[in-house]
Amino acid sequence: MKILDGKKTGNDIKSEIADQVLQLKKSGKRPPHLAAVLVGNDGASLTYVGSKVRSCERIGYESTLIKLPEETTEQTLLNQIQELNTNPAIDGFIVQLPLPAHIDEEKILMAVDPKKDVDGFHPTNFGKMALDMETFIPATPFGIMELIRRYDLDISGKHAVIIGRSHIVGRPMSILLSRKSSPGNATVTLTHSRTKNLSEITKQADIVVSALGVPNFLKANMVKQGAIVIDVGITRVPDESHPKGYVITGDVDFEAVRHKASYITPVPGGVGPMTIAMLLQNTFLAYSRYAN
């Protein structure tokens, strides 16, 4: 079994970007600028946005964090998005999800200028991804593909089983893994909460991507010997023995599954750091494509 080390790979990507930023600055150009909008005080969202902003600082990007109160109206948020869309100093921005229940998430994501949509959630960018056109690929699936590429894993012609069909992970993963490109060319099965006999399907998988958000869901008896196992899940499981009062737990029963897997991502230290690295990568792409 080999660990797919997302922390190290993510750091490699970040230092590659930092080198490019240094070159830009040396030649008198401004660095890329990422903004993040956070509505409310959700603990996990605060943590994610905080680490995105810190990563920007470390690699020499400009960053702006816009924190809005929980009771922010949909119109106020739309106005904020419009400001970011038209601000020439901002190359890309994200609206951290989930949003409070009184705000229509779809309406907000539709309002983001596709040229600044570094999360790749706008239908224009999602559609372009499905058609193999130049776009912004959502950071988590992009990170998983980059991990596969950098570890030189051969997935062509292999059976990939994805658990979860969300718009931000499972669905785009199914598109990317089945693409006619490298990495890609996998035969994909996309499973979800209505799938029958899930373990019969996962047992046939050469590669399993688990993105449902149920801690330790994927057991060793659901996985074929030698499979590649990618764990996207991040759940805060209460644990009084831990200083924070919780532990971050993945979807995969790591201790048991690792003995069967050929490659496996840990949680934490797998897909999470890759997601941040690819968000920074997308911001660099936005800067290179559209700045000036």
Residue numbers annotated as active site: 52, 96, 119
Asked whether the beta carbons of 233 and 215 are under 8 A apart, the reply is: yes
Strand 62-68 and strand 235-238: the pairing is unpaired
Q: Cβ of residue 214: shortest distance to ligand NAD, in angstroms?
A: 6
Asked whether the beta carbons of 97 and 69 are under 8 A apart, the reply is: no
Rounded Cα distance, 234 and 255, in Å: 16
Element (H, E) at 18: helix 6-26
User: Which residues, including other chains, have CB under 8 Å from residue 284's CB and lie 6 or more apart?
Assistant: 17, 20, 32
Q: Cβ of residue 42: shortest distance to ligand NAD, in angstroms?
A: 12
Rounded Cα distance, 52 and 277, in Å: 9
Q: Cβ of residue 8: shortest distance to ligand NAD, in angstroms?
A: 16
User: Which residues, including other chains, have CB under 8 Å from residue 16's CB and lie 6 or more apart?
Assistant: none
Q: Cβ of residue 88: shortest distance to ligand NAD, in angstroms?
A: 30
Rounded Cα distance, 207 and 200, in Å: 14
**CB nearer to ligand NAD: pick between 31 and 208:** 208
**CB nearer to ligand NAD: pick between 133 and 237:** 237
Sign of CA dihedral 246, 40, 233, 201: positive
Task: Give the torsion through C-alpha atoms of 169, 175, 179, 185, to 10 deg.
Answer: 80
Nearest partner of 291 among 121, 89, 83, 64, judged by Cα:
89
Q: Cβ of residue 162: shortest distance to ligand NAD, in angstroms?
A: 9
Question: Which residues contact ligand NAD by CB under 6 A?
Answer: 140, 163-166, 168-170, 191-193, 195, 198, 211-213, 232-235, 271-272, 275
**CB nearer to ligand NAD: pick between 76 and 178:** 178
**CB nearer to ligand NAD: pick between 80 and 277:** 277
**CB nearer to ligand NAD: pick between 20 and 195:** 195
